[in-house]
Copies of this chain bind each other. A is one copy, B any other.
């Protein structure tokens, strides 16, 4: 699968797919002509990257969190997992969930107040 195909299937611009490779969170191989070549798993991978980026993770954090789930990274990497970083990021994720749940509840409560008292919405 070439970069344009992956872009089409994920909705992520080729420019970004190259960027993700540059920062080390996506690892296509190269075909003879030098074109990047992606496997099927890359689709899921890219979507996960987008989710994490939109959740406020940096590419650096993502690099720690997606260690050996790489497509063309064979078993040697299985050894280089940084457990410490992974635990740190787990704490990170859990704190974020906490924050978001608190804010979700706050917004919900706020909305309920307005929905219960019918009347003014966004006037003028």
Contact = CB atoms under 8 A, between A and B. Distances in A.
Copies in the complex: 2
A99 interface: yes
Nearest to A50: B99
Interface stretch (A4-12, A16-24, A32-40, A80-88): A80-88
Contacts of A93: 100, 103-104, 107
A90 interface: yes
A102 to B, nearest CB: 8
Interface string A75-116: 000011111101101100110110111011001101100100
Contacts of A80: 122
Interface in A29-83: 48, 51-57, 65, 79-83
